[in-house]
Structure 1
Amino acid sequence: MFDCRDEVWALTKQLVRIESIVNEGGEKVMSQSLHTLIYSYPYFQQHIEHIIYQQTENDEQERYNVIAFIKGTKNPSNKTVILMGHIDTVGIDDFSLKEQALDPDALAQALHQEELPEAVKNHLLSGEFEFGRGVLDMKSGVASHLYLLKYYSEHPEELEGNLMMVFECDEEDGSHGIISALSELKRLRELHGFDYIAAINADFVSPRYNGDPNRYIYKGTVGKLLPSFFITGSETHVGSCFEGIDPNFIAAHLTRQISYNPALCNEAFGETTVPPVSLKQMDLKPTYTVQTALSAYVYFNFFIHSWSPKEVLELLKVEAETAFATALSEFKQHYATYSKVSGEPMNDILWEPRVMTYEDMDSILQNEHGEAYTLHMDAFKEQLLQQTDLDTRMFAARVVEEAWKWMPNKNPAIIMFYSSLYSPRIEVTGKNDKEQNLLEALDSALEIVQPTYPHPIVTKNFFPYISDMSFVALSDDEAGISAVSTNNPGWGTKHYVDYEAIRAINVPVINIGPYGYDAHKQYERMERNFTLNIVPNLTNEVVKNLIGSR
């Protein structure tokens, strides 16, 4: 096994000190520095065509991926293993010690002078943890891959295949990096005849519960959707509140119905997703008035293991209908009580729960208005694209809001749609030769490495966080993917993903990454032994089992 702690740590600090907050310009500096570092290796000076500096595609930001590969010379083979990792981080606004956030050594010294939570203080004093933005998520993982890249660039004779590195930007937001890398992976496959047999990501892992002693290796990954709801009410003056219905009232019932609902957890292979939770709830009134809002907007994080995007819409339609019915029932009860105490007569309430998908509404409007509607909406979307402050989620909401104006029936309704990126779920279960070979390579590697480490290294089926693993394979069928494209109002304008390009690569992927705590928080920290020693050695053993010399 490699004695690599010091070198991987030096690489980690070098990367952490380069600010690469997503969407803020530093990613470009990070990729330039990474390209310069890799190019300094003699192998790449002799094979300059083996390192690619790739600008992302269809991206509002200027940023780049760095892709590099080594061709093994022991027994030349098309078999190719991909090592992947993202080079961007989240911001540092949460740090009380912002000036030290990107300098692990200075941050550690400064933290000794701070009042810290007990667990954080214990980790700091132990000397076994390193702190800093990106030190866990995931520049130490990138450093592990860089160590292996340098080693095999000096020893290509130990490879019976090829080793590909994909260092991608924009993982923390829109995944433009890995999605753009797909075209380059396809080009390289066609040019060099590569057969992508496995991918290893190096994103961070953390304890799953307090006191959890395990360090996890994940086979495949959770999928993530952003189901969204445009809710219309019936506007009224607040002094006559029962003459209309506030869409915020319906939205509140919808959030209560969906958020934290364990019936919406998806179990597969003995593992269960966390339930959905609301990420935004708002009305769409532009300014203060004493009228109730015309519409509200809610969206939810939704993790999946086995459900398709189509199935999620079907499940949530039932929940939305239940929430709508509950809201109307409660509204009528409140109205009846108010009527009794005020002595004012109660009017009939004729509204009924009405829930439809964006695809359903769009079809109704096309049938009703024909070309006039489609031309108007195309022009409206083009106009919206000029508003650069609109993210994909608000862009989608504004499209639905505009389309709703064309609806002949303006009674209260809930329109369901997807407003952001679908990160596909991936199962790696041994269902084909590539998956089986990867799982066997991992099992053999664990047999070698586990005796050298005091804590259990445990494999699980689904990486539990959003990651770029989702974009190298596809478990969904065409109907599942179609539900994403036909129900995203920004599809083809503000948002587009070539899911067939993912299916074309379709390589089984596992995650072997740094271990630590508080990713995306000010006390982000990683454990030295597992991160700097176990991760590169375990990854290397898997590589050797797949394409190396034993």
Structure 2
Amino acid sequence: MKWQTTQQLKQLLGKLVKYPSISGSKAEVLLAQYVAAQLSELDYFRENNELVQLHSTGDGRYFVTALVKRNEYIRDTIILVSHFDVVDVQDYGAWKDVAFSPEELTKLFYKHQERLPSEVQADLQEGEWIFGRGVMDMKSGLALHMSLIEQACAGKFSGNLLLLTVPDEEVNSMGMRAAVPALLEMAEKYGLAYKLVLNSEPMFTRYPGDQTNYIYTGSIGKVLPGFYCYGKETHVGEPLAGLNANFMASQITNEFELNTDFCEVFGEEISPPPTNLLQMDLKEDYSVQIPHRAVTLFNLFLQQKSMDEMTGALVELAKRTARRIEERYHHQATRFAQLEKSTSRALSVNVLTFAELRHRAVEMVGLEAVEQLEQTILTNKKKKDERERTIQFVDRLAILCKDLAPMIVLFYAPPYYPAVNSSDDPLVKHVVERLQQHASKKHGVKIVQQHYFGGISDLSYVGLQQPFSSLQALTANMPMWKRGYDLPLEALKKLNVPVLNVGPVGRDAHQWTERLNVPLAFETMKELLEYTIQEVFSK
């Protein structure tokens, strides 16, 4: 047994972290191959080598599956899901060259404690934390799953375990989206009945200084609404003869940023408010013409609200903002006219969805011309990012329909994460209750249930809790839908497995102070995961 003791798991974690598997990098591919090779060395897989597989995601990357089948008659199966990609390390500054060397980085942090935030210094005094990119999010979870697979190979569990570890979770979840059909195929081929998808994303604090230990019976949803602003071009010497799109976008950001009207409340849990991820004008070169095309893009979390409801609320926000832009313009134009002793001007800002804009473009130039324009954008190698392509889609159609300007166009960019919640599932309720009792009795640890994991996870893609019809507002207004981005909706509906997240204690995901509590991860959490699996199979 090579992945069972704390020291063994710490060594495995170090080897996993040493691969700088930033999303989209070559190391992301190499790490998938390394994990598959390591699992293949276990005796069980030496005898059943076809049960460890590298699966192509279709874009040069791979996800890994490793199935331990108890015997040919047992169908009950738990899927252990994790991701092995990480975000980049530019935030480490002078320490970025050792960000993927946990032991070395941890020693440096001990040596230079005075340069660390006070709360990090406090953790250092405990002597139980290890630092590095990916130690928390989420290569420690993958290490724990490999440990569980090794135990399953030795016959510890009464059911089947299927390890699934994927790339690209931090960007577009290409790995998990590609894995869904493969999971259905494996169920058919090997006679599997999936009882639970068990993730081990780390616990996320809900507020600064939060020391609570959480498990999660769901995962929060996410959508990226964008607002494209088309004003009116003019020379900077005549600003009131036009409308600056940067001004329009800034007014939307002012209205939408941290707007708690868009927070959802579920029990005692409140989703974070929306926040801006991108804002820019679309001028390619400097000139004294005002920017008359701009865009702003937001992160918006979802729990229970349907996309119909959310789209309606976003359109209303855009309409309110349009009226404020008109009022502000009219107020300043009137004041300037008084100074200049001239006649003031007025304007009207239209609000459309992307679906309405595209319909108008088809009316103007025909469906064939619109589809040809879209195909040109898709094949433009300079626009690799799906957000960039989405914005270009909207921009090119808006230019065709410039007679509608000034206008604000609501659209959605990839990725989309459906909210998932298994809190009312009988099996999940039973396991949570037993796990809380066990953790308190055996480890003296109080575990609090959260209905939604707030860090966004691939658990969003193991089922579909909304009817297809409710997604029409999303798909119709997402320019990239079925043009380079989509979800396997039919497969998601068919898969539909309850979810649970039981993961280690960490701090500061996606920050240069990312760290993992080693004893809690590789002793306490390891035992709790083993107990969780046994409880699932006992039902």
TM-score (norm 1): 0.93
* Residue number among 102, 106, 109 corresponding to 2:107 in the alignment: 109
**Corresponding position of 1:196:** 194
Shift of residue 398, structure 1, vs aligned partner: 0.7
CA distance in 1, matches of 2:116, 2:423: 42
**Corresponding position of 1:314:** 312
For the pair 1:416 / 2:410, whether they are aligned, the reply is: yes
CA distance in 1, matches of 2:214, 2:328: 46
CA distance in 2, matches of 1:252, 1:55: 42
| Counterpart mapping for 1:400-411 below 5 A | 400-407=394-401, 409-411=403-405
Q: 1:418 is paired with a residue of what secondary structure?
A: strand
Runs of 4+, deviation exceeding 6 Å: none
For the pair 1:344 / 2:341, whether they are aligned, the reply is: yes
For the pair 1:509 / 2:529, whether they are aligned, the reply is: no
Shift of residue 454, structure 1, vs aligned partner: 4.4
CA distance in 2, matches of 1:394, 1:211: 37
Deviations 1:308-362 (A, max 9, x none): 222211111111111111111011111112222x22313331x323111111111
| Counterpart mapping for 1:143-158 below 5 A | 143-155=143-155, 158=157
* Residue number among 63, 66, 82 corresponding to 1:65 in the alignment: 63
Shift of residue 402, structure 1, vs aligned partner: 0.9
Shift of residue 408, structure 1, vs aligned partner: 6.3
CA distance in 1, matches of 2:405, 2:16: 56
Q: Does the aligned pair in 2 maintain the 1:5–1:533 contact within 8 Å?
A: yes
Aligned residue type for 2:82 = G
Q: 2:111 is paired with a residue of what secondary structure?
A: coil
Q: 1:330 is paired with a residue of what secondary structure?
A: helix
In structure 2, relative to structure 1, the CA distance for the partners of 1:129 and 1:379 (3 Å cut) is closer
Aligned residue type for 1:140 = S
Could you tell which deviates more after superposition, 364-373 or 37-46?
A: 364-373
| Counterpart mapping for 1:120-519 below 5 A | 120-155=120-155, 158-159=157-158, 161-340=159-338, 342-349=339-346, 351-384=347-380, 386-387=381-382, 389-407=383-401, 409-430=403-424, 435-519=425-509
* Consecutive unaligned residues in structure 1, runs of 5 or more: none
Aligned residue type for 1:413 = M
Deviations 1:227-285 (A, max 9, x none): 01111001111111111111111111100110101111112233211110111111100
Aligned residue type for 2:377 = K
TM-score (norm 2): 0.95
Q: Does the aligned pair in 1 maintain the 2:230–2:406 contact within 8 Å?
A: yes
Q: Does the aligned pair in 2 maintain the 1:225–1:309 contact within 8 Å?
A: no
CA distance in 2, matches of 1:104, 1:372: 55
Q: Does the aligned pair in 2 maintain the 1:200–1:539 contact within 8 Å?
A: no
Count of residue pairs the alignment pairs up: 534
CA distance in 1, matches of 2:487, 2:4: 41
Could you tell which deviates more after superposition, 400-409 or 239-248?
A: 400-409
For the pair 1:24 / 2:25, whether they are aligned, the reply is: yes
CA distance in 1, matches of 2:11, 2:379: 49
In structure 2, relative to structure 1, the CA distance for the partners of 1:298 and 1:529 (3 Å cut) is same
Q: Does the aligned pair in 2 maintain the 1:141–1:204 contact within 8 Å?
A: yes
Aligned residue type for 1:31 = A
Shift of residue 409, structure 1, vs aligned partner: 2.6
Deviations 1:113-164 (A, max 9, x none): 22222211221232121111111011111111111100110115x41x2111
Deviations 1:479-510 (A, max 9, x none): 22222221111222232222222222111111
Q: 1:97 is paired with a residue of what secondary structure?
A: helix
Deviations 1:39-92 (A, max 9, x none): 0100001111211111112x2xx221110111124x942111111100111112
Q: CA RMSD in A?
A: 1.8
Aligned residue type for 1:94 = D
Q: Does the aligned pair in 1 maintain the 2:4–2:147 contact within 8 Å?
A: no
| Counterpart mapping for 1:5-44 below 5 A | 5-44=6-45
Q: Does the aligned pair in 1 maintain the 2:334–2:344 contact within 8 Å?
A: no
* Residue number among 84, 87, 104 corresponding to 1:87 in the alignment: 84
CA distance in 1, matches of 2:21, 2:55: 17
